[in-house]
Chain A
């Protein structure tokens, strides 16, 4: 065999060997290995920029999986979890550096930011503000399954549903439905309207929302006074609750003012859609309604 022929033979052998190595090098480890929990939809390193989801994770006892949270996630303040942005603005570099296997965002975040995170190979899940208690429950269960606490989530949801059914049965015994105005803003006055989970606070207590006909929550004070609500609930975090209570109290012919049924509810509980907070708020409102009727 000549020199050239030998060279060609060696090159060919080398080429075949190289192709063999390239084709089979990626396969050695995969056969027989189980799929990762993330593949099964269970995540162990989660960044949550949605305060209600962060609280839900704590409620499920899965806070150990949290590696990042938003600057508004109060529940995780004491646990030194890395702040990775705000509710509407994720700190993309920070999130990427944490190497999470799941990033949970609210629907306030822009699509551009979501796409950017996905380009880094991160799994992004959007949790929207629920439009009803049932939606809140199904999102809670979805979250529970993601963090490996599906059964716990279903149990919590079932307990909440049971309590809601009890309240609804109890309210059926009442002859009339009191009118409720639930205020969630002061300048301008902003009402809870149907199509939001907060409207269920009103309907589950057996009352009617005086703003039930509205599709936009901004109302004038005159509208509220003309509807003559029996109860006014002012949902607030700040001092505006006290000044609003004073404002409404001046309308002495309004049932809620006359019977002293103007109450303030903490927005940190009422506005954060978790089953725990929902039931807390519902119990508070049901209590006020019960006391109001007795008086």
Chain B
């Protein structure tokens, strides 16, 4: 196929993903305890005095926007990290960021700081930042970032963090235990619109900024040394992308807790659909991640309605099954890194 033909094909693919995202967004607004018809959504939004308006604006729209922002961000981070480390098992949480955030939140709950008016997300973000700093500091040798070392240190920090969390959980009471466990399962129930909009803005900004790294990322697909021979300063690129993805992951965890598998599985599915050219892969991963998490959220709301499942349960089950399926399929497996 000619490059023009490929361009058209991938352009149509991205357009389809945008259309699918829009459709998913509208379905998320319509599906719930109080079902709306899609055609009624505009009239509901204009009737500010109705109960349905309250449900839409205070519950469904914020969580759908959050699903879009977080799903897109985690997938984007996953695709970048898998490209940097050239490891198909790397995801945003592999570097220990989720562990650090979990320690921050657990400490806040156990010490009682969390009930003094400071949002849990602050502690989650602080914990994530500490982990990023530790991984960064320990991974530098002779002013060079060692990607292999980063992954190993990140994995070890994850283990240490989960042990610390278990230690703290063993010292706490039943009510706090409940709060900690459910935080680690993830939730899109953020009701502060300022937080939701900020995260959306940051995730779109991140998408835009990572598009600036398309050329180096494509070059690094050939391997670090070959990329350096092509004139890419891989050391600097890796550092910048590491910081961007870590901060983004930390922000997502801080707001919604730990939502696993999105950053692992969606990059692989996106590669299967669009190939490994980052010009298409980056926006595709963002869109696909957003669509995936929106539908996971819909399922979490309706599967055992009126009760709700933690969203991390849904992404884990579906993500895990999908990943095993991909690994089992020889044809699909060849399209991994």
Contacts and interface: CB of A to CB of B under 8 A. Distances in A.
Interface in A36-64: none
A223 B58 contact: no
B55 to A, nearest CB: 6
B24 to A, nearest CB: 18
Contacts of A225: 34, 51, 54-55, 59
B319 to A, nearest CB: 21
A295 interface: no
A267 B59 CA distance: 27
A253 B306 CA distance: 20
A219 B183 contact: no
A281 to B, nearest CB: 17
A88 interface: yes
B54 A108 contact: no
Interface stretch (B173-181, B199-207, B223-231): B173-181
Contacts of B304: 216
A188 B33 contact: no
Interface residues of A, number: 33
A88 B51 contact: no
B142 interface: no
A95 interface: no
A254 B307 contact: no
Contacts of B50: 253
Interface string B147-183: 0000000000000000000000011011100110011
A121 interface: no
A160 to B, nearest CB: 26
Contact of A223 (B33, B54, B170): B33
B222 interface: no
Interface in B25-75: 32-34, 49-51, 53-55, 58-60
Given A87-B174, A222-B32, A226-B34, A187 B183 contact: yes
B18 to A, nearest CB: 27
A94 interface: no
Contacts of B308: 188, 218-220
Interface stretch (A7-15, A130-138, A244-252, A282-290): A244-252
A223 B174 contact: no
A179 to B, nearest CB: 14
Contacts of A221: 58-59, 189, 191
Interface string B113-134: 0111100100000000000000
A253 B49 contact: yes
B45 to A, nearest CB: 14
Contact of B187 (A185, A188, A190, A240): A188
B78 interface: no
Among A188, A190, A226, A251, chain B packs the most CB atoms within 10 A around the CB of A188
A99 to B, nearest CB: 27
Contact of A239 (B51, B116, B173, B189): B116
Nearest to B119: A243
A189 B59 CA distance: 13
B182 A253 contact: no
A188 B301 contact: no
Nearest to B118: A239
Contacts of A187: 120, 179, 182-183, 187, 189
Contacts of B33: 220, 222-223, 226
A222 B34 contact: yes
Contacts of A86: 171, 173
A254 B51 contact: yes
B310 interface: yes
Contacts of A219: 306-308
A32 interface: no
Chain A CB count within 10 A is highest, among B32, B120, B191, B307, for B307
A238 B117 CA distance: 9
Nearest to A255: B51
10 contacts: A185-B175, A185-B178, A188-B187, A225-B51, A226-B34, A247-B191, A250-B191, A251-B51, A253-B50, A253-B51
- 7 pairs of A and B residues whose beta carbons are closest in the complex: A238-B115, A253-B51, A223-B306, A222-B33, A251-B54, A220-B308, A226-B34
